[in-house]
Chains A and B, each alone.
Chain A
Amino acid sequence: MSGRFPGGGRVAIAGFAHSAVQRRLDRSLGAITVEVARAAIADAGLAPEMIDGFVTSALFPTAGTHAVQDGISTVTANWLADRIGADPRYVASFQGVGQIPGSVALAVNAIAAGAADYVVLHRALHNPRGGYHDNSMTTAAGPQQWTAPQGYGGPLSMIALPYNEYLQRYKADPETMAAVVVEARKNGARIPWSYWFDRPLTTAEYLTAPMMSDPIRRLDCDIPVDGVATFVLTSAERARDLPHPPVYIAGYASSGPHRERLPSHWPLDDIMAGGCDTARRLWAATGLRPEDVDLPQLYDGFSPFVYFWLETLGLCPVGQAHRFVSDGGIDSDAPGALPVLSGGGALGNGRMHGIPQMLECYLQLSGRAGDRQRAATVGLACHSSPHYGGAVAYTREPL
């Protein structure tokens, strides 16, 4: 069994639209999503009544005690489909983690199978009032009872433990992570809709940022925002008749079953083993090799994910990501370096959850990146942790 994805190159992105990214937008998330979806449909040269598929992942990714309200704190595919004026044949939502690759896979599979011809894929992210992950639980039932009474809860400590494990195991300097965050903010500062537009960061500013859960600083975390992005996907044949150059989906991989652990416990060995499995499936699905990818967009919702993706994808040796970064290996302005955060990532745009990675692949490979245009042919959009997420490979020409 080769694992090669037979739908590779048969589906393409035909258009997109993106809202402003702000701490709080002045209209409801639902209203903005309808507006952005209509703009994306128009961008693709289509009309709303032509859209016959809607996909998303509607997860409101908070560990806090916030209400989930459709149209306010999240927007489901059904909610949007009901308001676009279409008669969809296919409406689906990805339920797992690695929301953007999971949603792309739903859209690609539906189009390749003929279940839908024109699919709107959206992601709507909301910043609730109060602390994003603040949780006021006073009792812990079910899985939480094994960790919350002990004081372990929320993603700050979740990522701090494997990151510290990495620092200890490879004797890495925590100050090296400044290069990751500064790189993300440098690129995000060049993107007009980014929360961090025109606001690059210095190494000194990074190093004076407060610790949240050592060695995780505030600036190692993407900032919660309101923001919406929408893409329109269709078959490669149909896309070639539309206004913009298509960007083809070569294949995708989602991380597989992972070892059961305490809630939110991600030992470094789990991340690496599961991540290497994800990467192996991705290369098998696409026929690509790490050296074929000239636009790898790594997930950076927490900065240590950049190290973990670099190593699990085979873009540098295991245990060497911190040296690769400190040697200038991810500087998007340096010839020969890997532009892994050229789209600004989550740290440079705001908590848009895998959208910046997908959007950078689309903009660069379709030739729509404007002043930021690069000569790229194969992009990779990663999301979440390598062992608990996924990745999609995009190409300028169908593979």
Chain B
Amino acid sequence: MTVTRPLPIPDDHSAGYWAAARRHTLALPRCARCHSFALPPSETCRHCGTFEPEFRFEAVSGTGRVRSWTMVRKASLLGFADQVPYLLVDVELSAQPGLRMIGRLLGEPADPHLDDPVQVVFEDVDDDISIPAFTLVRETPGRGDTPTGDEAGR
């Protein structure tokens, strides 16, 4: 039996994320009260404590720095068994200090180091779903991330 790669089931808390990803845009949930990003979004905002965060999905540049990585050689997710070995990177996004995201590292060179700059990219896994991943950026990408805010809403 071949197990296929797990695909996301968008819900009320994530639909904006996956809709933006389909357009190859990283849009992250942002608290309407304190404007902090939170990943994943929760019932309350972990930054300001409001229980009415009314998270909205806002586009970010998707740049960040490598904080850690691992080469997966034994995939516990059987849907990835035919992809091993593959690299995962733990990225601190430049959109907000401490905001971390995990994704595959695609492209060459596949040799990450601490603090390497990365950029989000997307894998189109079917007609409806694109999955965020990262790629190493050769040159340091100029300025930090400035959320544009023009992808608001879900």
Question: A residues within 8 Å of B by Cβ?
Answer: 63-64, 131, 133-157, 160-162, 164-165, 168-169, 210-216, 259-262, 265, 267-268
Complex interface: chain A residues within 8 A of B75 (CB): 151, 154
Asked if B107 lies at the interface with its beta carbon under 8 angstroms from chain A, I say no
Chain B nearest Cβ from A335, distance in angstroms: 37
15 A-B pairs in the complex with CB atoms less than 8 angstroms apart: A134-B76, A135-B78, A141-B11, A146-B40, A150-B104, A151-B75, A151-B103, A157-B72, A161-B88, A164-B70, A210-B73, A212-B73, A213-B71, A214-B71, A268-B68
Enumerate chain A residues within 8 angstroms of B114, measured Cβ to Cβ: 168-169
Q: Which of B10-30 contact A (CB under 8 A)?
A: 10-11, 14
The answer to whether residues A150 and B103 also contact, given A161-B70, A260-B46 and a CB cut-off of 8 A, is: yes
| A259–B8 touching, CB < 8 Å | no
> B80's closest neighbor in chain A, by CB?
A151
> Which chain A residues lie closer than 8 Å to B6 at the CB level?
137-140, 144, 148-149, 153
- In the complex, A164→B129 CA distance in Å? 31
Looking at the assembled complex, report how far the CB atom of B44 sits from the nearest CB atom of chain A, in whole angstroms: 9
Q: B39 contacts which chain A residues (CB < 8 A)?
A: 146, 262
Decide: A151 and B100 in contact? CB cutoff 8 A: no
Verify A265–B78 contact, CB threshold 8 A: no
Q: Is B67 within 8 A of A151, CB to CB?
A: no
Q: Are A161 and B69 in touch, CB under 8 angstroms? A: yes
Known contacts A137-B77, A149-B5, A162-B68, A143 near B40 by CB under 8 Å: yes
Beta-carbon contact of B68 and A138 below 8 Å: no
Complex interface: chain B residues within 8 A of A134 (CB): 76, 78
Is B68 touching A161 in the complex (CB atoms < 8 A)? yes
Contact B68 A168 (CB under 8 A): yes
Residues of B within 8 A of A161 (CB): 68-70, 88, 90, 102
B7 touches A265 (CB 8 A): no
Report the tally of A-B residue pairs with Cβ distances under 8 A: 139
- The residue in chain A whose Cβ has the minimal distance to the Cβ of B86 is A151
Kindly state whether residue B133 has any CB partner on chain A within 8 Å. yes
Q: How many residues of B contact A (CB 8 A)?
A: 45
Query: How far, in angstroms, from A148 to B78 measured CA to CA in the complex?
Result: 11
Which residue on B lies nearest to A159, using beta carbons? B70
Q: How far is the CB of B48 from chain A (nearest CB, A)?
A: 14
Complex CA gap A6/B38 in Å reads 40
Q: Which of B38, B40, B46, B70 contacts A160 (CB 8 A)?
A: B70
What are the nearest 10 A-B pairs in CB distance? A154-B76, A160-B70, A145-B8, A141-B9, A165-B68, A153-B77, A214-B71, A133-B76, A140-B6, A168-B114
Of A152, A210, A259, which one neighbours B88 at CB under 8 angstroms? A152
> Is residue B49 within 8 Å, beta carbon to beta carbon, of the partner chain?
no
The contact of A213 among B3, B73, B103, B104, by CB within 8 Å, is B73
Q: Is B148 an interface residue (CB 8 A)?
A: no
CA distance A148 to B72 in the complex (A): 13
Question: A213 to B72, Cβ gap below 8 A?
Answer: yes
Q: B117 near A: Cβ within 8 Å?
A: no
* Separation of A16 and B14 alpha carbons in the complex (Å): 49
Contact A138 B79 (CB under 8 A): yes
Across the interface, which residues of B come within 8 angstroms of A138, CB to CB?
Answer: 3-7, 79
- Nearest chain A CB to B9's CB is how many angstroms away? 4
Query: B83 in the interface, Cβ–Cβ < 8 Å?
Result: yes
Task: Give A148 to B133 CA distance when docked, in angstroms.
Answer: 12
State which of A137, A142, A165, A216 has its C-beta within 8 Å of the C-beta of B90.
A165
Residues of A within 8 A of B113 (CB): 168
Asked if B53 is at the interface of the complex by the 8 Å CB criterion, the answer is no
A131 to chain B, nearest CB (A): 7
B100 close to A261 (CB less than 8 A): yes
Which residues of A are found within 8 Å of B38, using beta-carbon distances?
260
List, in ascending order, chain B residues with CB within 8 A of A145's CB: 8-11, 14
Whole-angstrom distance from the CB of B31 to the nearest CB of chain A? 13
Q: How far is the CA of A244 from the CA of B69 in the complex (A)?
A: 50
Which residues of B have CB within 8 Å of A164?
Answer: 68-70
Q: Which of B3, B11, B79 contacts A142 (CB 8 A)?
A: B11
Shortest distance in angstroms between B43's beta carbon and chain A's nearest beta carbon? Answer: 10
B62 within 8 A of A: no
| Contact A64:B76 (CB < 8 A) given known A138-B3, A140-B8 | yes
Is B42 at the interface (CB under 8 A from chain A)?
Answer: yes
Q: Among A63, A64, A216, A262, find the residue whose CB has the most chain B CB atoms closer than 10 A.
A: A262
**In chain B, what residue has the closest Cβ to A146?**
B40
Contacts of A147 in B (CB 8 A): 102
Chain A proximity of B104: nearest CB distance (Å): 5
Could you tell me the distance in whole angstroms from the C-beta of A141 to the nearest C-beta in chain B? 4
Contact of B67 among A150, A153, A267 (CB under 8 A): A267
Q: Is B74 an interface residue (CB 8 A)?
A: yes
Q: How far is the CB of A329 from chain B (nearest CB, A)?
A: 25
Tell whether B64 is near chain A: CB-to-CB under 8 Å: no
